[in-house]
Structures are given as C-alpha cells and as structure tokens.
C-alpha cells in the first residue's frame, strides 16, 4: 500500500470538513507544486462542483483618494500617470453599465468607489441607483464603498445590494507597511457591520506587496474566521508613480501555489482571481486548474483586464458553468 503524502493527508482532512491549521498550511506551502494544485482542484470539484462565479466591477467614483495605500494610482499621495478623477456616477450611467454586463453573461456587478468612505449623501444617491438597477436588470449588485457602518449597510441592502467587498489586503502584521491612513481593525469592523446588516461579505488581498507566505496564510485565516466565502486574489500590477512601482510581479507558479493553499484553507469558498491575472501570461487558466472557481472579468479600476468574452470561452473550454456561488 502506498504511503499517503502530507498533501493527501491534509486533503482528506479538508474533505472530512475539518479546518487545516496555520502550521499545516505553512507546511503545504513548500510541497510539490503539481501535486498541491491537483489536490486543490480536486477539493474544488468535490466541494463546489463545476460552478464558476464571474463578476465585473465599475469604477463608480474615481481618484482623489485621501488614503495612502502604496499600490494604488488613485491616491493623492502619489504622482502616477494622468488618471481621470470624477464624482459618483449617475444612476443612468450605473444602470447602463449593469445592463451591458448582464447582456454579456455576467451575474454580479460590483460598484467600487474611491476614498475612505462614502458620505451619507452619497450613500443615499447610490441607494437610488441600486434600486433602479434591480428594477431594470437581472443582475446581483455588490458594493465596495469604503469603511461604512451598519446603518449605512442596512440602507444599501434594503435598496437591493447583496454583497459587500472590503479587502484585508494582507495580514494584520504586514498591513501597516501597506497603508497608514486606516487600520486593519477598521476593515474588520466594516466586514462585521456588513454581515450584521445581512449582506454577504467578500474579502481577500493583493499578493506581491512584499509580504511573506505566512502573511498570505494569515490573511486568509482572518477571512475564514470572519465567515468570508468570496476571496479575491489580486496579483500586484506595479503602477509607475506608486511606492510599489519597482516590485516584481508574482510568477505563474507563485500565483498557482497561493490559489491552491487558499483552496485548502477555505475549501467551499469562491477563490476569485482578480486584478493582475493578465500578468501571468495565460489569462489565469493555470490558476483555474489549481483551485480557483471565480474571477473578476473585464477591466479593473485603473488597469486593463481580460474581456468577458475571452473569459467565458476559456471557462467553457475548461468545463466550468457560469453560476452564482453559494455564500
């Protein structure tokens, strides 16, 4: 009888609905890549089936952000290339964008805004836009509006929003190296407020900020503790003018290893390839066979992405079915 490897042992543990520990995840991070990704993909198939959750994002309010996140071109603290700045998009613009995305086969439409948080006036205006979208378009509306409170989230849920996105970005230990104008605790409080308001929550981070593998594992463990089931995995796209402009992008192998580890940590979650996947050279295909089962399609906030049509064809070829994930 063949001896079970560490990967096999931990895969069986996950399939028994038992959490793997931080120490076990760290041990997994140095295992053979092909064996690790194959096991992660098997976990994905058994825990999630062939569903693939595809969403798009719209830059609902752009630029002039007071925060100093070192990766972001929208921050007023850095001199990146000419980036258009504009206030909250109108209801007409947001409805038109939602309709266009729904027509192309997208099931989730996420409105993302710059700044630390929207004002109450802006929240009320966005509620009107969400109500209009839900009355005219068959699509889920997600929101990423900064550090709002429970009362604001309750308004947005009543208007028709179903999910709140607020990335942890990295581990609690490393986050102060990434941003100093708000805290990790504020992010956690935002996610808890959204959950208390009855919204599902989406939270992941960016890989390639200078963090360690342990930081990446800690980030996902925090998300797991919060009950997050949608985990965006962004790969840093170094933008000229930002403090991270000279960081080296992750390799395809590093990205696949992280995706596989995250699948072991949250086996029934939507591991969602997000910004930067175009940098790995295969449009994310290798990650989609390493345990990922969700993606943000189309353009990102300040960088180009991969077209919806290209993504849908690739996912069809890989045997996935576009459908909403359970959360």
By C-alpha distance, which of 183, 278, 199, 265 is closest to 231?
265
Per-residue burial over 49-64, b = 16 or more CB atoms within 10 Å of its CB, e = otherwise: eebbbbbbbbbbbbbe
Q: Would you say 272 and 296 are in contact if contact means Cβ atoms under 8 Å apart?
A: yes
**Cα→Cα distances 76→99, 179, 230, 242, 302, Å:** 32, 13, 29, 10, 14
Residue recorded with tokens 């007409």: 92
Q: Would you say 201 and 242 are in contact if contact means Cβ atoms under 8 Å apart?
A: no
Residue recorded with tokens 């609690």: 172
Fold of 21-322: TIM Barrel (3.20.20)
Confidence (pTM): 0.94
Task: Dihedral sign for Cα 23, 26, 27, 33, please.
Answer: positive
HEC secondary structure over 57-123: EEEEEECCECCCCCCCCCECCCCCCCCCCECCCCHHHHHHHHHHHHHCCCCEEEEEECCCECCHHHH
Euclidean distance between CA atoms 146 and 1, whole angstroms: 54
Q: Could you list the pLDDT tens digit for every one of the 327 residues in the chain?
A: 456 799 999 999 999 999 999 999 999 999 999 999 999 999 999 999 999 999 999 999 987 788 888 988 888 887 766 667 888 999 999 999 999 999 999 999 999 998 899 999 999 999 999 999 999 999 999 999 999 999 999 999 999 999 999 999 999 999 999 999 999 999 999 999 999 999 999 999 999 999 999 999 999 999 999 999 999 999 999 988 899 999 999 999 999 999 999 999 999 999 999 988 888 889 899 999 999 999 999 865 555 568 899 999 999 999 999 999 866
Euclidean distance between CA atoms 79 and 73, whole angstroms: 8
**Domain ranges for the chain:** 21-322
């Amino acid at each position: 009888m063949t001896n079970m490897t560490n990967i096999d042992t931990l895969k069986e543990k996950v399939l028994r609905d038992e959490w793997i520990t931080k120490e076990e995840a760290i041990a997994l991070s140095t295992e053979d890549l092909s064996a690790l990704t194959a096991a992660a993909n098997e976990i994905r198939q058994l825990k999630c089936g062939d569903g693939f959750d595809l969403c798009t994002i719209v830059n609902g309010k752009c630029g002039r952000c007071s925060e100093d996140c070192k990766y972001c071109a929208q921050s007023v603290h850095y001199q990146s290339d000419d980036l258009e700045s504009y206030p909250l998009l109108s209801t007409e613009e947001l409805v038109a964008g939602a309709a266009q995305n729904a027509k192309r086969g997208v099931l989730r439409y996420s409105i993302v805004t710059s700044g630390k948080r929207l004002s109450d006036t802006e929240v009320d205006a966005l509620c009107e836009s969400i109500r209009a979208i839900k009355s005219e378009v068959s699509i889920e509306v997600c929101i990423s509006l900064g550090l709002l409170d429970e009362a604001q989230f309750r308004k947005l849920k009543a208007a028709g929003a179903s999910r709140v996105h607020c990335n942890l970005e990295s581990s609690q230990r490393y986050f102060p190296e990434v941003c100093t104008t708000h805290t990790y605790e504020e992010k956690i409080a935002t996610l808890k407020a959204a959950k208390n308001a009855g919204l599902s929550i989406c939270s992941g981070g960016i890989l390639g900020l200078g963090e360690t593998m342990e930081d990446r594992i800690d980030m996902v463990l925090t998300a797991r503790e919060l009950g997050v089931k949608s985990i965006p995995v962004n790969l840093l796209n170094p933008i000229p003018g930002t403090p991270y402009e000279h960081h080296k992008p992750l390799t395809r192998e590093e990205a696949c290893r992280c995706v596989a580890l995250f699948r072991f940590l949250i086996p029934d979650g939507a591991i969602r390839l997000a910004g930067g996947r175009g940098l790995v050279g295969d449009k994310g295909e290798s990650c989609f066979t390493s345990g990922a089962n969700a993606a943000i399609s189309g353009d990102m906030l300040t960088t180009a992405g991969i077209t919806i049509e290209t993504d849908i064809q690739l996912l069809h070829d890989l045997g996935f079915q576009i459908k909403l994930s359970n959360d």
